[in-house]
A and B are shown apart, each in its own frame.
Chain A
């Protein structure tokens, strides 16, 4: 029997709270656990059966009330709302291997002693942001469930029913529940009413959490990639400084090796040097733009260990040891390999979750169209109005969540080129300069997440969805 917890590394360790909550609410994720899998499989299957049962009940209710248009619309919107949850549930179940593979890509990453500090810093930033996102989304979902339940107890719990005999619309009483749904038992009053109420509360909370948490998983992956790109951008300048020591004389090379990867530009260069650089740049008048930089040599007392230009380190003007030279050459390799790792992770994310986003967008488009129609019937602050506005805001917020992270990834990946330009690349070795050129060429094409190749996830998508919604609303108002 295993007594100690297995140690998870990499992306899995960062996302462990998210995974644990997902497993607790019934998602079909069976890795990263200790203990018997059979019970968990049983739990997930029971959850699936219960959710499908409730969903089918909603559909039966939809089918039974097709005569009256407003009832039809309202029921269709509810059905589409819960289609999201069922879709995400089944998608994660079928695509669990993809999820494991994506997590596994970042099990281990390459390290370099000079850049370890910057790596750790951006990693902790990513971790805190992911935790905060998870907390906010879970809290918001719980609050929405509470709000929905509270709203049920205001207003009349009735529906419109078209009486075919008298050919008029009458008002019929229905049970005061959150979702209009058919049940095989009579849920008007008594114990069955309370059972239905509790069941619906469980259903609403758990299915919304399921849908939102898989979106949060996706957003956390994208967030992690963005922070990795920030790390890469941050070490560009130290990298250039390092590679410059291979070719040209730098008096403070020892300082470079000592405190290298703090990540901020000013710490690498001793303070006096920074001042001089600043002065020489700023005393430009444009007609004499070619002012020379400060004279490097005599004012800085380089440590004696660097001053021996004897035959052993003949090719290197700064007198670096073999080990230091190797470190410099491997720094570029580290950068490129890390960048390739990030590209692999992004493509894995796109492959794993792209189809889910496509299905989400399809369902949302239909739902938003119907919501636009419902919105034209609002005539005051009623329960109906609050319900419609709530659905609308929720649907738009879901789309906004993954669009904003996709947009951030696009911006970060295409600004690597700007970071490469802003470090003093012209002072680097020839090797570093060609490295910068190839990097710039590659980073001109931004890394995007696409919804199974149909669209790219960015704020343009959100803007077009919003625009389409407004257009439908305006057209429907005119047709009224």
Chain B
């Protein structure tokens, strides 16, 4: 019964994500990507100064981890009947071809043709689902990554602002600061729009992840189908990594938007005029109110939330164990 619940749950979460991202908010996403592209440093010198390569490497690392997990999931699903048959042949038990999941099908599932076509169908749909998961997670991760990178660039620029005692640099410094405020506000608006788009999705994701985590662990230890152990293990790792990706990048965004205030402080503000200092004060005040992604008004998405998800999933797991033993 729990396996069916998990299958249905995964399918519904995937369809909600698909609908939200690729239908309801498709225009907004394109707008955000266009805006982010405008502010992206394009010349080689800029890219070196701001160390774009480091941010790229990070997202590539996460991307490759996610891809690896999902690839191993698909391969595992394909090979489960084969491995079980192999296990039976080695230990000289008589085992049948086992289906990876149980469905209600009007035809005889024992015949090879039906069995292998159902198996193929399952693997195909599972890989399509996992691909959607993959895409939506990486969407969120890369957009927040680029936005965090741009906040960090802002912090670096304002830290290096040229301030001397003469009037010429004073004037240009004030002008720089004005444009800085405009760009900062642009980034804040982009972060707000991202929050709007991903809010409900993350809310559903958080609660779905908690239930999937606890059910997969429970099934791993107390499940009756031994041949599905690898499936549960790989799925658990997949959900775990997914939750971590969301929380990590949400945390990164909040931190980097906070870093703008540090960047202002890092500049040589003590050399500047009172007018500059007053403007810097306003910027710091705004930047210290960090731009965060929320799970639809309930909670912020940062690494604290990750800890909360894991602990809640564990407490639900122990509850399930308690009920099972009774």
Interface positions of A (Cβ within 8 A of B): 281-282, 284-287, 289-292, 407, 411, 414, 417-418, 421-422, 424-427, 433, 436-437, 440-441, 444, 459, 463, 474, 477-478, 480
Contacts and interface: CB of A to CB of B under 8 A. Distances in A.
B289 interface: yes
B185 A422 contact: yes
A474 B180 contact: no
A374 to B, nearest CB: 18
22 contacts: A284-B38, A284-B179, A286-B153, A287-B41, A287-B43, A287-B49, A289-B179, A290-B176, A411-B297, A414-B289, A422-B185, A422-B188, A424-B178, A424-B182, A425-B282, A426-B177, A427-B178, A437-B278, A437-B281, A463-B298, A477-B319, A478-B319
Contacts of A281: 179, 182-183, 186
Interface in B158-210: 172, 175-183, 185-186, 188-189
B46 A417 contact: no
B73 to A, nearest CB: 30
Interface in B282-307: 282, 285-286, 289, 297-299
Top 4 closest pairs, chain A to chain B, by CB: A421-B286, A478-B322, A474-B319, A290-B176
A130 B29 CA distance: 33
B183 A287 contact: no
Contact of A285 (B46, B188, B315): B46
A291 B282 contact: no
Instruction: Give the size range of B's interface with the partner.
Output: 35 or more
A411 B278 CA distance: 26
A16 to B, nearest CB: 31
Interface string B296-326: 0111000000000000000110010011001
Nearest to B316: A474
B179 A286 contact: no
A472 B184 CA distance: 46
A292 B183 CA distance: 14
B185 A421 contact: yes
B38 A292 contact: no
A459 B285 contact: no
A8 B309 CA distance: 52
Contacts of B182: 281, 424
A69 to B, nearest CB: 20
B183 A284 contact: yes
Nearest to A434: B278
Nearest to A425: B282
B263 to A, nearest CB: 13
A477 B325 CA distance: 12
Contact of B297 (A285, A290, A407, A421): A407
A292 B322 contact: no
A202 B177 CA distance: 67
Given A418-B188, A421-B286, A478-B323, A282 B179 contact: no
Residue from A284, A422, A477 having most chain B Cβ neighbours under 10 A: A422
Given A286-B39, A286-B46, A478-B323, A292 B282 contact: no
B42 interface: yes
A373 to B, nearest CB: 16
Contact of B326 (A289, A425, A433, A478): A478
Contacts of A286: 39, 41, 46, 50, 153, 157
B258 to A, nearest CB: 15
B319 A440 contact: no
B46 A287 contact: yes
A441 B281 CA distance: 11
Nearest to A282: B38
A459 B172 CA distance: 46
A407 B297 CA distance: 9
Nearest to B322: A478
Nearest to B297: A459
A411 B178 CA distance: 27
